Structure 1
Amino acid sequence: MIEIDGRRLRLADIATVAAGGTKVSLAPSAVERMAASQRSARATALTRPVYGRSTGVGANRSVSLDAGDNEANVHGLNLLRSHAVDTGGVLDRETVRAMLVIRLSQLAAGSSGINPAVADAVLDMLNADALPEVREFGGIGTADLNALAGTALTLLGERRTMDGEAIPAPLDTWATADALPFISSSALTIAQAVLAHQKLSTLLHNLTTVSALSFTAMSGNPEALSAEVARAADSPAVTEMAGLLRGLVEGSGAPSRIQDPYSLRTLPQALGSVAEELDSLKGLLERLVVAGNENPLVFGSAEDGSNGVAHHGLFQMTGLARRVDALQLAVGAACATNLRRISLLCDPAYTGLHRFLAADDAGQSGVMMLEYVAAAAVGHIRANAQPVSLQTVVLSLGAEEDASFASVATSRMDSTVRALSTVVGVELVCAARALRMQDRTPEEFASLRFRRAFDAGLSLPADVQDRDLRPDVDAAVQLVLIPEFGR
């Protein structure tokens, strides 16, 4: 059971809930915080206009709502129904669960003014795994209005769940005061970023170990990883990565060259840059999953008269778009060294083996085509790395004259995860094959993490005769997606 308190939520816990099978609860303090926020919003709405409560939204912000419609919740239901349109492919259950748990956490922060009963309904939906069907096209990085409005219609029983079933206990109605506060969130965009961040963190960990296997198979010169060089690095992340790699390749043998190719010599920079961007994105996401960024933001207390609202633009995920862009660029840049290492592992000048790690030099192709597979995957990664944060658009009769398109950036990250896992998997196949053909054994090496990764590589098929290598790559991709790989 994972408790949502609106103050802190680990990214790993979001991933656990998203994977399915883990229940969620709301802390009593979170429920009281939401109730206090609701009281504050009600008190404020009696004294001044409040966007979405007493006015329309978007270009309709200057339209005052009919008091009778408000009382009958007509406007709230109309808002949810009109904003629920999305299209494209149906998102997977993992992403939708992550969206729901993040939205719960944000509501628990107590800045929305929403009725706590809505949060209870979302909690029941999540724990029953009666998930809304959410499609890929709808958001532009200024709140996932479509996805959350569709979730509301599912909670009301107007839409079926992903499984085509009715929600077990549909809500009777939805108050106008609770409509905009529920959908004013980028929970889906943040969810996609969180899940991709967790998978990319695992991949970086495993890529670091696989790179050490390649380094060893090509008798790299560890001087580039030395403590003296590391101290001169321009980033703490590069210094740390150099130390990590130095420990992994300890005892790997005498180097073959004074200076290695860049794909070995610049490993600390290439991988350290990815680590640095992952850490920056993590810090931002840890704030966003507990941030009450609903517009308007509700604050203060109705009891002491300090209540109020503030209309703002925090819902525009400019920072998230920029952080995702930076991470994608770092991964795309690092992939150049991945491809080069795979190429060098095929070169007898660097491994002392037959070309393409083939069984002989009589024309067998060995792992030749794996280089093509990896290059195709890198092409996708580099395409995904084209910056999204430079895009913009003007919508809603000019009321919204900019957009972050963070939703586009985060939706690309799953593609990057799949492509990068292929690249790392291919390098593992080649590095493990080279070490096996060199008659190296895990016991030779000082690092336990290195030995475990080598053992995992040895679990791949040993036959080096020309054959179908798809099963090898599939098995390797599964290995490099496992957090425990090489640990």
Structure 2
Amino acid sequence: MTTDITLDGTTLTCEQVGAVARGEARVAVGSTAAAQAAWRASSQLHGPVYGRTTGVGANKDVAVHEQGLDLVRSHAGGAGPLVEEERARAMLVIRLNQILRGGSGVNPGVLPVLAYAINEGFTPPVRLYGAIGTGDLTALSTAALCLTGEVPWRRASWSPEQGPSFALSGSDALPFMSANAMTLGDAALACAGLRPLLDASIGVAAQSWRAVDASDEPLEQPVQDARRHPGQARVATRLRRLLVPGPSPRLQDPYGYRALPQVHGAAFDALDTAEQVVTTDMNSAAENPLIAGGRAWHNGNFHTAPVALALDALRAALVQTASLSTARLATMMEPAYTGLIPFLADRPGASGALILEYVAYDALATLRNLAAPVTLGGAVLSRSVEDHAGFGTQAARACLATREPYEIVLACELVAAVRAQRQRGRSCDVPLDPRMQDRPLDADIEAARTVLPAFA
């Protein structure tokens, strides 16, 4: 059953973007008053207005009288494969919400048309490459040409189809395409997708805790009160609830256990920050020029520096938590922590679960590559007029790409933890294959991936 989400330009969330993008919710258009006001004001502007009466980029000082739709035609030149329909739909949801916020000056007649496209499964054929964090020009230009009927919509993944149309005018061209809706769509999907995985990582860690009888002393309230980071306290509290207190055979455990609240807590804090930044931009009128107070304000609100910085931090934090997961996996291969045969094998000399470490470290290496900070880059374009870039687009793409390898790392840890508990004669109701003999473990890893949501 789908639900309706009313867009009003101010309250859209990452979870809602994800639900609509996956087809689990529909959108309804709320009050159009702010969009109507900006549109009326834009029609009464006098003097040079960037992108309306002038060219763009280095052509900002060139007067243009009849630009028409050539601007979107010239900017619809993306490259590479088509992005998934889910991502293109997320872009449409966010652009619709941003126009409702007011400030763009786009004809509000396009709003119900965009809502219809979203709800009926029409998406523009957006190509992967073409933005650097200063506006998703190629993606939104392609969407604009779908609205005018010059480019066919996609529907049902493979079938180009003539869909809903709207007669955008030349004065709508730059206001419609000059936004970061594609970047923010990817970022919203990443935040919404990573939260349940981070939640699951705590439940998986609890299984490892039981497998090696790790000490719960690092989780106790006096420790948390001494260092008041909110994420750390949240993680420690949840772990205490999942574990049964008991003595540990060791004075201090490895960092994979002892420092888990600090490392995982920092990741939750980074995710909270990223989601807050993305939510702010999804509900902002980050338009250039901004139509407000009866005039056009030329500005740099299109720049994705806040988004890029927050997403860089989030990806780095994920690597830290995945690194601790592989550390816990290593302890479960070691008899000193489990009292079992090395590698959780069923007999001495057998390989048991050894391959899990290779798989997990391969996925961890991928996460490290994805964590390279985009904010260290730079760009000079359009005859040096546009002399900086935020690369929030690349940060958002990389965040989306982290979900699979992070999931695999957690799945490897879970397979080992369940295996160790069973070998120690402890009840464990996780539905994974109970066989202990040497055999391919790929099916076990995939099964563990499917049960991760239960640990969230």
Partner of 1:180: 174
Among residues 210, 218, 231, which one is paired with 1:216 in the alignment?
210
- SS of structure 2 residue aligned to 1:389: helix
Identity %: 37
Judge conservation of contact 2:322–2:410 (CA < 8 Å) in 1. Answer: no
Is 1:85 the counterpart of 2:57 in the alignment?
Answer: no
User: Which digits, 9 at most, give the CA deviation of each residue in 1:290-338, with x for residues without a partner?
Assistant: 11101111112xxxxxx11211011010010000011111111222211
* Offset of residue 176 of structure 1: 1.3
Partner of 2:25: 22
- SS of structure 2 residue aligned to 1:76: coil
User: Which digits, 9 at most, give the CA deviation of each residue in 1:387-413, with x for residues without a partner?
Assistant: 111111000011100001111111111
Judge conservation of contact 1:209–1:248 (CA < 8 Å) in 2. Answer: yes
Partner of 2:418: 432
Judge conservation of contact 2:94–2:282 (CA < 8 Å) in 1. Answer: yes
Q: What amino acid maps onto 1:486 in structure 2? A: F
Distance 1:21 1:267 in 2: 34
Matches within 5 A, 1:381-460: 381-441=367-427, 455=429, 457=430, 459-460=431-432
Is 1:226 the counterpart of 2:226 in the alignment?
Answer: no
Distance 1:203 1:22 in 2: 22
Is 1:365 the counterpart of 2:337 in the alignment?
Answer: no
Q: What amino acid maps onto 1:316 in structure 2? A: H
Partner of 1:34: 35
Judge conservation of contact 2:153–2:161 (CA < 8 Å) in 1. Answer: yes
Partner of 1:262: 255
Judge conservation of contact 1:144–1:185 (CA < 8 Å) in 2. Answer: yes
* Offset of residue 423 of structure 1: 0.3
Q: What amino acid maps onto 1:358 in structure 2? A: A
Judge conservation of contact 1:130–1:167 (CA < 8 Å) in 2. Answer: no
User: Which digits, 9 at most, give the CA deviation of each residue in 1:227-257, with x for residues without a partner?
Assistant: 1111112522212222222222233x32120
Distance 2:194 2:68 in 1: 39
Distance 2:49 2:255 in 1: 59
CA RMSD of aligned residues (A): 1.3
User: Which digits, 9 at most, give the CA deviation of each residue in 1:180-236, with x for residues without a partner?
Assistant: 011111111111111111111111100011011101111111111111111112522
* Offset of residue 21 of structure 1: 4.5
* Offset of residue 54 of structure 1: 0.8
Is 1:104 the counterpart of 2:96 in the alignment?
Answer: yes
Distance 1:364 1:328 in 2: 37
Judge conservation of contact 1:16–1:22 (CA < 8 Å) in 2. Answer: yes
- SS of structure 1 residue aligned to 2:447: helix
Distance 2:165 2:306 in 1: 36
Distance 2:164 2:410 in 1: 45
Judge conservation of contact 2:216–2:240 (CA < 8 Å) in 1. Answer: yes
The alignment covers a number of residue pairs equal to 450
* Offset of residue 40 of structure 1: 1.1
Partner of 1:13: 16
Partner of 1:474: 446
Distance 1:377 1:165 in 2: 36
Q: Which runs of 4+ in 1 moved over 4 A?
A: none
- SS of structure 2 residue aligned to 1:432: helix
Q: What amino acid maps onto 2:310 in structure 1? A: R
User: Which digits, 9 at most, give the CA deviation of each residue in 1:460-484, with x for residues without a partner?
Assistant: 111111111111111111222x3xx
Distance 1:168 1:95 in 2: 18
Distance 2:162 2:227 in 1: 56
Partner of 1:446: none
Structure 1 residues 21 and 277: CA distance shift in structure 2, 3 A: closer
Partner of 2:335: 348
* Offset of residue 370 of structure 1: 0.8
Is 1:336 the counterpart of 2:323 in the alignment?
Answer: yes
Question: Structure 1 stretch 328-337 or stretch 309-318: which is displaced more?
Answer: 328-337
Distance 1:194 1:36 in 2: 28
Q: What amino acid maps onto 2:371 in structure 1? A: A
- SS of structure 2 residue aligned to 1:165: strand
Matches within 5 A, 1:223-372: 223-233=217-227, 235-251=229-245, 253-300=246-293, 307-361=294-348, 363-372=349-358
Q: What amino acid maps onto 2:29 in structure 1? A: L
* Offset of residue 168 of structure 1: 2.5
Under a length normalisation based on structure 2, what TM-score does the superposition of the two structures give? 0.96
Partner of 2:64: 65
Q: What amino acid maps onto 1:389 in structure 2? A: T
Q: What amino acid maps onto 2:401 in structure 1? A: S
Distance 1:420 1:168 in 2: 38
Question: Structure 1 stretch 403-412 or stretch 332-341: which is displaced more?
Answer: 332-341
Distance 1:486 1:401 in 2: 46
Distance 1:168 1:88 in 2: 23
Distance 1:285 1:48 in 2: 34
Partner of 2:433: 461
Question: Structure 1 stretch 233-242 or stretch 429-438: which is displaced more?
Answer: 233-242
Q: What amino acid maps onto 1:469 in structure 2? A: L
Among residues 80, 87, 90, which one is paired with 1:95 in the alignment?
87
Partner of 2:120: 128
Judge conservation of contact 2:147–2:168 (CA < 8 Å) in 1. Answer: no
Distance 1:233 1:21 in 2: 40
Judge conservation of contact 1:99–1:190 (CA < 8 Å) in 2. Answer: yes
- SS of structure 1 residue aligned to 2:296: strand
Judge conservation of contact 2:81–2:127 (CA < 8 Å) in 1. Answer: yes
User: Which digits, 9 at most, give the CA deviation of each residue in 1:246-288, with x for residues without a partner?
Assistant: 222233x321200101111000011001001001111111111
Judge conservation of contact 1:230–1:243 (CA < 8 Å) in 2. Answer: no
Unmatched 5+ residue regions in structure 1? 70-74, 301-306, 442-453
Distance 2:151 2:41 in 1: 32
User: Which digits, 9 at most, give the CA deviation of each residue in 1:427-447, with x for residues without a partner?
Assistant: 111111111221212xxxxxx
Partner of 2:455: 486
Partner of 1:56: 55
Matches within 5 A, 1:128-207: 128-162=120-154, 163-171=158-166, 173-207=167-201
- SS of structure 2 residue aligned to 1:107: helix
Unmatched 5+ residue regions in structure 2? none
Distance 2:105 2:290 in 1: 8
